[in-house]
Amino acid sequence: MLTATPLSREQVAQRYGVDGRTLDRWRDSRDFPAPFVAGRSARWSLAQLIEWETRVAGVEIFVGGSPLFNRAPEIS
């Protein structure tokens, strides 16, 4: 199942077009999914990220002056 795929910090940052420090701030100050530890690495659940995207899809989030979602997120 695609949504069971764990994503690395780099993959999550690339998904949203942000850097790792932004992910840290989101995790600390928003309703952003917390990572789980796999070995010595942080991983995010794709299903939890998609759920978060669905919740915030109607909310404008700006990163560097540009909207984070300029289209509805794809749900697979």
For residue 51, the domain's CATH number is 1.10.1660
13 neighbors 19 (Cβ within 8 angstroms): yes
Residue 59 falls inside a structural domain: yes
Reply yes or no on whether the pLDDT at 60 is more than 90.
Answer: no
pLDDT for 63: 55
Q: How high is the mean pLDDT of the chain? A: 77
Q: Quick one: which of 35, 39, 40 has its CA closest to 52?
A: 35
Q: Quick one: which of 54, 15, 53, 49 has its CA closest to 33?
A: 49
pLDDT for 3: 56
Domain encompassing residue 35: 2-67
Distance CA 74, CA 76 (A): 6
pTM of structure: 0.68
Name the more confident of 64 and 72.
64
Number of domains composing the chain? 1
